[in-house]
Amino acid sequence: MKNAGKRKASINYWPKEDRPREKLFKKGEHNLSNSELLAILLRTGVKGSSAVDLARKILDKFKTFRAISCADASHWKEFKGLGIAKIAQIKASIEIGRRFGEETKGIKSKIKSSKDAVVIVMPRMRDLSREVFKILLLDSQNRIIDIVEITEGTVNEVFPIVREVFQKALQNFAASIICVHNHPSGNPQPSVEDKNFTQKLAQAGDTLQIAVLDHIVIGDNAYFSFADRGLM
């Protein structure tokens, strides 16, 4: 009976065509369910549960990969036997996916509106626990040359330096820039400091002949565009 329980819990006892890794190479990763993909990251299960069973329990609790990435250590306590190494693997993999998405959507993309920029940066920036200030460097055709992080602040403020912003723009021969930062509170409404800083950026851009096209504040699936509100 003890061995029977082990066979039931271990993926090694499954038919090869049902094992997530073998299925991935035979049919492609796009054919795997979320729990199967997560099981591959987990590699092994815990006592009494296969990797797929454990993956299903994790998804039952958190529902989405986004929620998994935001969960802190206290949210994982109910999964007995799940160590910090596996949790780190899961979180790192989700972040790689976000960065890949930013890269594939971003570089050489042409920015025609604030929404075009938001689609690129929102997935990574909306869930950050601290304020982060980034710039999108654009060429003369408004295509993205690069996305550069300037500085990271606290949970409710960030202190970018105007000189550093334009130093990056000049180094990359950018014709214009779009500035972006997030509000971990989820509310994208700009503070008085945000408004004052935006004015300083615009003035410096005029002097250096590098247009500041927009300053976008990212919230929880919402954003504020200074350009859209006629504040640039």
Indicate the Cα dihedral angle 111, 115, 169, 197, nearest 10°: 150
- Nearest Cα neighbor of 84 from 96, 92, 70, 73 is 73
Cβ–Cβ < 8 Å for 181, 131: yes
Delineate the domains of the chain, giving CATH numbers in brackets: 2-100 (no CATH), 107-225 (3.40.140.10)
* pLDDT over threshold 80, residue 16: no
Cβ atoms < 10 Å from Cβ of 187: 12
Query: How far is the C-alpha of 213 from the C-alpha of 182, rounded, in Å?
Result: 17
Q: What is the DSSP letter of 89?
A: H
Query: How far is the C-alpha of 128 from the C-alpha of 181, rounded, in Å?
Result: 10
Query: How far is the C-alpha of 143 from the C-alpha of 32, rounded, in Å?
Result: 35
pLDDT, tens digit (0-9, with 9 covering 90-100), for 94-110? 888 888 877 666 566 78
pLDDT, tens digit (0-9, with 9 covering 90-100), for 116-155? 999 999 988 998 889 999 999 999 999 999 999 998 887 6
- Nearest Cα neighbor of 39 from 100, 97, 96, 82 is 82
pLDDT at site 70? 82
* pLDDT over threshold 80, residue 12: no
pLDDT at site 159? 74
